[in-house]
Amino acid sequence: MTTPTRSPKRAIAPLAIAGLFITAVAAQHYLSGHLYYANIAITTHDNLNLEFLNEGVSRMEDCQAAAAMIANTIRASCPKCTVTKQQCAAELERRHEKLLSEEPIEIPSSRLPKGVVAYLSDNQQVALASCREAERIASGGEGYRATCFPPNSRRPLSASPKPQPQSALQSATLGVLVLILTAIASAFTGFLILRYEGLHERWSIDPVNAGPQKFHATPTPRIGGLGVIAGLLISGGALRLIEQGSWSEPFSYLLFASLPAFLGGITEDATKSVSVSVRLALTMLAAAAGVWLLGAVIPRLDVPGFDALLRWTPFAIAFTVFAVGGVANAINIIDGYNGLAAGHSVIVLAAFAWISAAVGDGFLLFSSLAMAGALLGFLLWNYPGGKIFLGDGGAYLLGFWLGELSVLLVVRHPEVSPWFPMLLLAYPIFETLYSMYRRKVVGGLSPGQPDREHLHQVIYGYLTRRVPLEATDPASMTRRNSKVAPFSWVMTLCCAIPALMFWTETRWLMTASLLYCVAYLCIYRWLSRSSRNPA
């Protein structure tokens, strides 16, 4: 088989896209480099002073809102209390740095989820009693917890602390290592699949012209998902060996939960007999396992009215299972050309990793980079030559992983807007919704009926509108196939850049999502008309 060579122009395009992405995230990092700390001082009628100090946030507006909320809550619950200080400090004094750290201090203090409260009084017993009373009241409700620490005792940080410089460096080093490890494992598995193709070709090969959604030139193995799962398993094993604290256990749970989605897809790749409904049901089962093992239940969408429904646990679980299954199916839908779904997902995972690092979540950082590395190893064989395909096993595994990380990022970090992952995944989600509308409402067909009208197929039609009919040799067809993916990568970057810039701002993220949908429709209509009228 002739392997097409890569022209300099096609080699430059991915580098330019990568450079644009790196520049965007670097700019976002620079803009969010300054932190502001909400600091409120309260004087009570019992000669007791309280000082609230919150962890740093990147926006002055968020800090001011937090300070105002604390002050207003105190005024409402304690009319005789006086707010003597309400500010947002751009720099911490030494005593404040010590207050936020684990170091023992000479006065009682309460550790809150996002800050700390110090109790000051001429009578240490009064201060300590107030501290313990605050802990008792908090433990009896369903809201925040306030752990009281007596004077001169060690004060452990909360469950999700911001990384200190040394731990951040260690996390970054481990992230790079896992990225390399999973890429090597995935690439080597792909090599074995191609090297011993004769042993499995009877059941693993995706034939040419097997359906309207098929656009490859030669029979190709569609079990690339084996390389992806191999990379994840090896990275999970490595994490167990080095015992990275609380990371290994949730990563093992995530990997275990993904197995139904992967097994349903890989069985379809091998037997061609597993229906879409069964694969979707297995992916929803995987999402249910994520609910059970990881507590991955969508807590909110920042949509008035709908958030009230999500407070009812059965509805929230059902919606989460449906949403994660929908994302997995959406990734399978866009997996139509060399490098399309995998390249899109690498960009999304890079954005997940960036925000996971920003909020200090090593587990989500590790999980994002592990899957990104596995996809990069797969892309070595898939793009641009198309020597191996992701298949349903890889697509459903990848879709579940993206959906689950989206839910976990919002569950574990309330400061992250639920529209951050929504915008990152706008392309596959809207592609699926519009395809259902186009088939059912416009065409009167079943929403699950395959066709050649997806956006990536319309792009292919536009790119090949002037191609001579005789140019059907495998090398030429493969080159044309590989031209489609960069268009989707650009579309994904157009979502990733504003998502990274406004990851806490629901209104901006909603606006960007709406603009993307409008742009999608305009581009789709223009490309459809142009491909039908090449002149």
pLDDT digits (tens, 9 = 90+) for 460-500: 878 877 665 445 666 667 777 788 888 889 999 999 999 99
DSSP state at residue 143? S
Report yes or no: 268 and 274 within 8 Å, Cβ to Cβ. Answer: yes
Q: Model confidence at 367, in pLDDT bands (50, 70, 90)?
A: very high
Q: For residue 489, what pLDDT is reported?
A: 92
Q: How many CB atoms lie within 10 A of CB 214?
A: 14
Q: Model confidence at 531, in pLDDT bands (50, 70, 90)?
A: low
pLDDT digits (tens, 9 = 90+) for 6-61: 444 444 444 444 444 444 444 444 444 457 788 888 888 677 888 888 888 777 77
Of 167 and 126, the structure prediction assigns the larger pLDDT to 126
- Helical H segments across 359-454, by residue range: 362-382, 391-412, 419-424, 426-437
* Per-residue pLDDT at 164 exceeds 50: no
Q: For residue 166, what pLDDT is reported?
A: 40
**Of 363, 361, 366, 347, whose CA–CA distance to 415 is shortest?**
361
For residues 63-84, give the mean pLDDT: 77
Cα–Cα dist 61/505, whole Å:
11
Report yes or no: 372 and 518 within 8 Å, Cβ to Cβ. Answer: no
* Per-residue pLDDT at 426 exceeds 70: yes
**Which residues make beta-bridge pairs with 109?**
118, 149
DSSP state at residue 109? E
* Per-residue pLDDT at 207 exceeds 90: no
Q: For residue 5, what pLDDT is reported?
A: 42
Establish whether the linkage from the previous residue to 384 is cis, with ω within 30° of 0: yes
**Mean model confidence pLDDT for the chain:** 81
Q: How far is CA 98 from CA 92, 125, 140, in A?
A: 9, 22, 29
Of 81 and 422, the structure prediction assigns the larger pLDDT to 422
Widest distance between CA atoms in the chain: 93
Domain boundaries in the chain?
37-149, 164-532
Cα–Cα dist 259/282, whole Å:
9
Q: Model confidence at 516, in pLDDT bands (50, 70, 90)?
A: very high
Q: For residue 477, what pLDDT is reported?
A: 73
pLDDT digits (tens, 9 = 90+) for 314-337: 999 999 999 999 999 999 999 878
* Per-residue pLDDT at 76 exceeds 80: no
Q: For residue 145, what pLDDT is reported?
A: 65
* Per-residue pLDDT at 519 exceeds 70: yes
Q: Model confidence at 2, in pLDDT bands (50, 70, 90)?
A: very low
pLDDT digits (tens, 9 = 90+) for 368-418: 999 999 999 999 999 888 889 898 999 999 999 999 999 999 988 888 999
Q: For residue 144, what pLDDT is reported?
A: 54
**Of 336, 316, 286, whose CA–CA distance to 452 is shortest?**
336
For residues 216-235, give the mean pLDDT: 85
Cα–Cα dist 234/244, whole Å:
15
